[in-house]
Homo-oligomer: A and B are copies of this chain.
Amino acid sequence: MGLIVQKYGGTSVGNTERIENVANKVIDWRGRGHQVVVVVSAMSGETDRLIGLAKNITSRPSPRELDVLLATGEQVTIALLCIALEKRGCPARSYTGGQARILTDNAHNKARIQDIKADSIRADLDAGRVVVVAGFQGVDEDGNITTLGRGGSDTTGVALAAALKADECQIYTDVDGVYTTDPRVVPEARRLDRITFEEMLEMASLGSKVLQIRSVEFAGKHNVPLRVLSSFQEGPGTLITFEEANEAKQMENVLISGIAFNRDEAKLTVQGVPDRPGIAFSILGSVSAANIEVDMIIQNIGRDGTTDFTFTVHRNDYERTLEILNEQATRLGAREVSGDGKIAKLSLVGIGMRSHAGVASKMFEALAREGINIRMISTSEIKISVVIDEKYLELGVRALHEAFGLEKAA
C-alpha cells in the first residue's frame, strides 16, 4: 500500500479506446490498495495539430499564447480519463497545471517547475479519489499558463512524485522498459530489470529516447524511484535506481549496461591550426555565437607547431557550421576545413567500467574485427563513445552487443 504517480504518454492515450484501457490499468493499481495520481500527455497528434493551427497564422507565434493553445491538449485528456474512470465507478478528479498549483518560472514554451502546492491533491487522495493531472503545463506567479516544452509530461510526473513523496513514479510508454540496445537493430537485445540513474542519463542523452533527460535529472535530484513500463503489455519494466548499485553490480562482474547510438550528428575538422593557447576558443566561439550546440570535442597533441581540431554538431547545423568555419579559416590560420555528415556515434554505457580496465580495448577489438574504422573517440567514467561511418552503425552495434554478452542476463 503506497502512493504511486503514473505518467501515460501521447501514444498510450491516443484515442478513447486507449484512454479506457488506461482507466482499467489505474483501477487495477487502486484495487491493490494504492493511492494513484495519473499524469497524462495530449492525445498523440493533438499537439502537432494545435501547432499547425498557429503556424497557419504565423511562423513565430507569441510564446505566451502558444502556451495557452498547447495547454488545451492535455486538458482534453484529463477530462476524458476522468470520464472513463467515473464511468467505471471510480471517483476521480482532473487538475489542469494551474489547478494542481504547479508553479513555474515565466519562460514560456520551456518553463521550469519551481514549486508544487499539492495540498488539494493530497486531500482528494485521502478522500479516496484518483487524481488526474495535465502534464507538460503549469502557471507562473501571475497565473499565466506555461508549458515545460516537449516531453515535459515526464517532468510533471517526477515533480509530482517528489512533491507528494510518492513511493514510485511509473512512466508508461510504448516500450516495456530500457533495453541493452535498440531491439530493432539487435533482436537479441534484453530488457534491463534495473539501471542506475547515471547510466540512464547517458543512455537518454545518447539517443536511446525512452525518457526525457530533464525528468531523469529531476528524479535523481529528488531521489524519486522511477520505473519505465509499457502501457500495452504487462511486465515489471525497468527500475531506475539511485542506490550505489554499482557496488553490487561489480561483484556480479557486470561491466556494461547497454549500447546507445545516434545518427543525428555531423563531424567537422579544422586542420593545421597553430598549436597555441586560445585556439579552441577561437574556433568554437564563432560556432556557439551562432547558437549551434557542440557535442564531442577532440584535439590531439600538435605536431610542427600545428594541431587538428575536430568536433560534432547536430546534423541540421552541419551546413551552417561549415560555412562559419570556412569564413574563419584565414583568420585562424588553418590549413584546411573539412567535414562529414554521414557519421554515427556509438557508445558503451556502464557503471561497471569505472573500475575495470580493458573495456575500451575489447570494444576497439570487436569493431576492428568487423573492419570498422574509428574516426573519433571520447570517454567518460561510465561510457566510451566512438564515431564511425554511418553505414557501419548496425553492424557495430551488433558486434559490441555480442562481444559484451549483453543478450544474457548477468
Contact = CB atoms under 8 A, between A and B. Distances in A.
B68 A75 contact: yes
A130 to B, nearest CB: 12
A68 B79 CA distance: 6
A99 B143 CA distance: 7
Contacts of A99: 143
A20 B79 contact: no
A114 interface: no
B65 A69 contact: no
B57 A83 contact: yes
A233 interface: no
A324 to B, nearest CB: 31
Interface in A2-57: 16-17, 19-20, 50, 53-54, 56-57
A66 interface: yes
Given A94-B68, A96-B68, A98-B98, A58 B79 contact: no
B61 A69 contact: no
Contacts of A68: 75, 78-79, 82, 94, 96
A317 B264 CA distance: 64
Given A72-B72, A72-B75, A76-B72, A65 B53 contact: no
A71 interface: yes
A84 interface: yes
A280 to B, nearest CB: 41
B76 A20 contact: no
Contacts of A72: 72, 75-76
A355 interface: no
Given A72-B76, A76-B72, A82 B53 contact: no
Contact of A20 (B57, B62, B66, B93): B57
Contacts of A57: 16, 19-20, 80, 83-84, 87
Contact of A83 (B62, B87, B92, B93): B62
A295 interface: no
B76 A69 contact: yes
A86 interface: yes
B56 A82 contact: no
A188 to B, nearest CB: 41
Given A68-B94, A75-B71, A16 B82 contact: no
23 contacts: A16-B53, A16-B57, A19-B57, A53-B76, A54-B80, A57-B80, A57-B83, A57-B84, A57-B87, A58-B83, A60-B87, A64-B94, A65-B80, A65-B83, A65-B92, A65-B94, A66-B83, A68-B79, A68-B82, A69-B75, A72-B75, A98-B98, A99-B143
Interface of A: 16-17, 19-20, 50, 53-54, 56-58, 60-62, 64-66, 68-69, 71-72, 75-76, 78-80, 82-84, 86-87, 92-94, 96, 98-99, 143, 145
Given A58-B83, A65-B92, A65-B94, 16 more contacts: A19-B57, A53-B80, A57-B87, A58-B84, A58-B87, A61-B83, A65-B78, A65-B82, A65-B86, A66-B79, A66-B83, A68-B75, A68-B78, A68-B82, A69-B80, A72-B72
